[in-house]
C-alpha cells in the first residue's frame, strides 16, 4: 500500500500553481518524477458530470484522472483507449467541502490518490506533450481553488 504522506513538502519543487481557475491549459516540464494536485469544492450536487485533469497530451489523447457521478473515479490512458480503471468504492467527497485529486509519477508508475487516500497505480506511458489541462463538464458547478504541478525530489 502506498501512503500519501511518504513524500513530504521538502521533497517537492514547485513548477507552477494556479488558483481560482475554472479553465486551464499549461505546458510544463513533466519529465522525471512529478505530482499534479487539484483541490476543489463541489458547490452543487454532482449527479451527471465529471471533474479532474489531463496531462501528457491534449484533451482526450492524454492521461486523465477525474471524479464522476456515483463516487466513480476515471483513470484513462493515452490515445483515448477508454477507462483504464473505474474505482467505485470511495465516499470521501462531500458537497461544499474541500476535495483533492493527486497523481504522482514515481519512476515507471503513476500513483492516484483521492483526499490523500491511495486508489490505484498504473504504468507510465510515453507522453505526447507536457500539457496539463483541467477536465470538466461545462455544467459542473464547482470551485477550483488550486491546481499545482511539482517536481518530486526523491
Dump the DSSP string for 44-113: S--SS-EEEEEESSSGGGSEEEEEEGGGEEEEE-GGG--EEEEE-------TTSEEEEEEEEETTEEEEE
For the chain, give the percent of residues with pLDDT over 70.
Answer: 72
What pLDDT, on a 0 to 100 scale, did the predictor assign at position 116? 92
Q: Between 150 and 27, where is the model more confident?
A: 150
The sign of the CA dihedral 113, 133, 94, 98 is positive
pLDDT digits (tens, 9 = 90+) for 117-129: 888 888 888 888 8
User: pLDDT band at 73, cuts 50/70/90?
Assistant: confident
Q: How many residues does the chain have?
A: 154
What pLDDT, on a 0 to 100 scale, did the predictor assign at position 102? 96
Average pLDDT over residues 70-81: 68
Amino acid at each position: 500500500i502506498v501512503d500519501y504522506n511518504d513524500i513530504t513538502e521538502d521533497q517537492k519543487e514547485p513548477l507552477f500553481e494556479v488558483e481560482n481557475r475554472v479553465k486551464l491549459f499549461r505546458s510544463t516540464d513533466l519529465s522525471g518524477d512529478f505530482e499534479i494536485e487539484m483541490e476543489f469544492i463541489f458547490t452543487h450536487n454532482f449527479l451527471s458530470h465529471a471533474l479532474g485533469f489531463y496531462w501528457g497530451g491534449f484533451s482526450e489523447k492524454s492521461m486523465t484522472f477525474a471524479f464522476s457521478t456515483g463516487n466513480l473515479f476515471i483513470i484513462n490512458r493515452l490515445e483515448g483507449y477508454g477507462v483504464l480503471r473505474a474505482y467505485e468504492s470511495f465516499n470521501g467527497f462531500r458537497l461544499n467541502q474541500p476535495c483533492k485529486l493527486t497523481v504522482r509519477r514515481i519512476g515507471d508508475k503513476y500513483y492516484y490518490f483521492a483526499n490523500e487516500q491511495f486508489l490505484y497505480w498504473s504504468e507510465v506511458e510515453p507522453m505526447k506533450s507536457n500539457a496539463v489541462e483541467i477536465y470538466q463538464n461545462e455544467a459542473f458547478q464547482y470551485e477550483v481553488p488550486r491546481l499545482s504541478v511539482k517536481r518530486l525530489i526523491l
